[in-house]
């Protein structure tokens, strides 16, 4: 029997719900994470006008975050395995918030220096955010049994939509009323406060002062990796041979490429979607900020619903593979509906179609649940880092490709086809490549 002496015994017969509060805090942190990524999409039209930037230049600025974010994934995953989630994640929040704030200060430089300074700050925000989603995956794997993991992962992942709902109108107002630089001052300051709250409230399951023995047993007996933060592997050096094993697994590669395709949709909505509303559909910046929140509302609903459906199928006795794949395939099919926007003129109809597409993207965004189900126990952070590396290469390619497509054609029609095609490719990956979803076991050298 494992040592549970650190666990509160006051509620041994009554199961506490500490894991739900941990998930709530994950949701709040991830909301800010995505809001800080999306700052540029809201402020970009004002910046373009003030600084005289063309679509290709904006595409490279949009991609700056992802270059560093991708480069930091594997080091970030190893740091999580080596030093634990609590302190690495707290440092991550603090750093990305400081560099978000610094973007507002860079905005005060002469115009010729703003672009270069802004690009460097976006790089640093990306690098600092790198441990965040592998950290989310580790926390969900430690705090939730298998049958609750889909919902838990869907909830924290749906924060990307809630970020738009909550912060897009706020950032649009700040841009309209106080200039685009004010957005970065406000968002950076919020993050620094949140880092302190994270340090105060987050603990691993066996060390949390409020968890009952009943809840700990519920998590552990259901497949939760409650000793993940204390594992001996967390003190091991980087296991580069393990990365080779991950990349040689057909299941893992199918998941990785599928995540790249799904994340292409994410970065379209995070970067070019508000610009599409302003430049292609003739909306004001303020209106676009509010309108962009509407698809995000249904995306949030879809994100939570996808996890609930997946866990519901699992509890009804269906296989893990069927339970995870069904929402992904259905959601990605719905996401392809965005191409229909090329054939309509009405603003309200465009918003309705994009809302349906965003809803489908939410339903199908179960990649982190799949990762929590499949990552080898010894390298949960590193495996999440590789997964997120593949996914967020889309953050590099999507803004740049769309920038060239828009500049070359003068419209977003080809861009929407490009994004829709990626949704179809994600379906192909999960149906024809991934195979059975199961936890991967590392081979001993």
Structural domains in the chain, CATH included, are: 18-223+238-433 (1.20.1250.20)
Could you identify the residue written with the tokens 């009943």? 214
Residue 157 to residue 155: CA distance in whole angstroms? 5
* More confident: 230 or 123: 123
Check whether 394 has a pLDDT greater than 60: yes
* More confident: 129 or 236: 129
Work out the average pLDDT over 81-99.
89
Residue 360 to residue 427: CA distance in whole angstroms? 12
Instruction: Give the highest mean pLDDT range of 33-47, 131-145, 250-264, 385-399.
Output: 250-264
- Please state the separation of Cα 46 from the chain's center in Å: 26
Residue-wise pLDDT for 147-171, tens only, equals 888 888 888 877 877 787 788 788 8
Work out the average pLDDT over 191-218.
85
pLDDT at residue 251, as a whole number: 94
Q: What is the DSSP string of 51-96?
A: HT--HHHHHHHHHHHHHHHHHTHHHHHHHHHHH-HHHHHHHHHHHH
Q: Which residues contact 375 (CB under 8 A, 6 or more apart)?
A: 137, 141, 383, 384, 387, 439, 440
pLDDT at residue 228, as a whole number: 67
* More confident: 146 or 355: 355
- Collapsing DSSP to helix, strand or coil, 212 comes out as strand
| Contact predicate 69/227, CB 8 Å | no
Work out the average pLDDT over 201-210.
80
Check whether 327 has a pLDDT greater than 50: yes
Work out the average pLDDT over 39-66.
76
Check whether 11 has a pLDDT greater than 50: no
Q: Please state, as a whole number, how many other Cβ atoms lie within 10 Å of the Cβ of residue 425.
A: 15
Q: Which of 266, 269, 220 is nearest to 394 (CA)?
A: 266
pLDDT at residue 6, as a whole number: 43
Per-residue confidence at 5, pLDDT binned at 50, 70, 90? very low
Residue-wise pLDDT for 330-341, tens only, equals 999 999 999 999
Residue 260 to residue 15: CA distance in whole angstroms? 39
Provide the 8-state DSSP code for 443.
P
- Collapsing DSSP to helix, strand or coil, 260 comes out as helix
pLDDT at residue 365, as a whole number: 86
* More confident: 27 or 67: 27
- Least confident range from 9-23, 166-180, 311-325, 338-352: namely 9-23
Residue 408 to residue 388: CA distance in whole angstroms? 30
| Contact predicate 387/327, CB 8 Å | no
Residue-wise pLDDT for 339-368, tens only, equals 999 998 888 888 889 889 989 998 998 888
Tokens of 100: 């978000």
In the chain, how long is the greatest CA-to-CA distance?
A: 67
- Cα distances from 348 to residues 162, 283, 336, in angstroms, run 21, 11, 18
- Cα distances from 294 to residues 93, 107, 248, 288, 441, in angstroms, run 27, 29, 41, 10, 42
**What is the phi/psi pair of residue 229, to 5°?**
-70, -20
Residue-wise pLDDT for 217-248, tens only, equals 888 887 777 776 665 444 555 566 778 888 88
Tell me what percent of the residues of the chain surpass a pLDDT of 90. 25
Q: Which residues contact 282 (CB under 8 A, 6 or more apart)?
A: 347
- Cα distances from 337 to residues 160, 334, 340, 370, in angstroms, run 20, 6, 6, 25
Per-residue confidence at 10, pLDDT binned at 50, 70, 90? very low
Q: Which residues contact 276 (CB under 8 A, 6 or more apart)?
A: 412, 415
pLDDT at residue 208, as a whole number: 76
| Contact predicate 156/368, CB 8 Å | yes
Work out the average pLDDT over 26-51.
83
* More confident: 33 or 209: 33
Tokens of 117: 């300074």
Q: Which residues contact 54 (CB under 8 A, 6 or more apart)?
A: 48, 407
Q: Please state, as a whole number, how many other Cβ atoms lie within 10 Å of the Cβ of residue 116.
A: 11
Mean model confidence pLDDT for the chain: 82
Q: Please state, as a whole number, how many other Cβ atoms lie within 10 Å of the Cβ of residue 316.
A: 8
Instruction: Give the highest mean pLDDT range of 10-19, 22-31, 101-110.
Output: 22-31
- Collapsing DSSP to helix, strand or coil, 435 comes out as coil
């Amino acid at each position: 029997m494992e040592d549970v002496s650190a666990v509160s015994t006051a509620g041994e017969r009554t199961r506490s719900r500490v894991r739900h509060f941990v998930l709530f805090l994950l949701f709040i942190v991830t909301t800010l994470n995505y809001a800080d990524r999306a700052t540029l999409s809201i402020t970009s039209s004002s910046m373009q006008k003030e600084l005289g930037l063309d679509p290709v230049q904006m595409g490279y600025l949009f991609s700056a975050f992802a270059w560093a974010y991708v480069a930091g994934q594997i080091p970030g995953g190893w740091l999580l395995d080596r030093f634990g989630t609590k302190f690495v994640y707290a440092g991550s929040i603090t750093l990305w918030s400081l560099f978000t704030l610094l973007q507002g200060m860079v905005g005060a430089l002469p115009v010729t220096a703003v672009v270069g300074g802004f690009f460097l700050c976006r790089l640093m925000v990306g690098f600092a955010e790198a441990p965040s989603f592998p950290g989310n995956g580790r926390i969900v794997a430690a705090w939730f049994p298998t049958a609750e993991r889909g919902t838990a992962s869907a909830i924290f992942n749906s924060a990307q939509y809630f970020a738009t709902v909550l912060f897009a109108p706020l950032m649009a107002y700040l841009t309209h009323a106080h200039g685009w630089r004010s957005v970065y001052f406000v968002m950076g300051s919020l993050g620094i406060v949140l880092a302190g709250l994270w340090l105060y409230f987050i603990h691993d399951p066996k060390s949390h002062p409020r968890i009952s023995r009943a809840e700990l047993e519920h998590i552990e007996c259901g497949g939760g990796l409650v000793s993940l933060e204390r594992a001996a592997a967390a003190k091991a050096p980087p296991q580069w041979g393990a990365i080779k094993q991950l990349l040689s697994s057909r299941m893992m590669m199918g998941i990785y490429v599928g995540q790249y395709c799904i994340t292409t949709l994410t970065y379209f909505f995070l970067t070019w979607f508000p610009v599409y509303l302003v430049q292609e559909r003739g909306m004001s910046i303020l209106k676009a900020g509010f309108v962009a929140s509407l698809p995000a509302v249904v995306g949030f609903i879809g994100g939570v619903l996808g996890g609930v459906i997946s866990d519901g199928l699992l509890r009804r006795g269906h296989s893990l593979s069927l339970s995870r794949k069904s929402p992904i395939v259905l959601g990605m099919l719905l996401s392809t509906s965005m191409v229909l926007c090329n054939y309509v003129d009405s603003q309200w109809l465009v918003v309705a179609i994009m809302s349906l597409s965003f809803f489908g993207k939410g339903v199908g965004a179960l990649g982190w649940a799949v990762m929590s189900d499949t990552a080898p126990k010894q390298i949960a952070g590193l495996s999440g880092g590789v997964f997120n590396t593949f996914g967020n290469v889309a953050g590099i390619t999507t803004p740049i490709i769309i920038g060239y497509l828009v500049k070359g054609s003068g419209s977003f029609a080809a861009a929407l086809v490009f994004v829709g095609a990626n949704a179809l490719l994600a379906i192909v990956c999960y149906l024809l490549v991934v195979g059975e979803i199961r936890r991967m076991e590392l081979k001993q050298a």
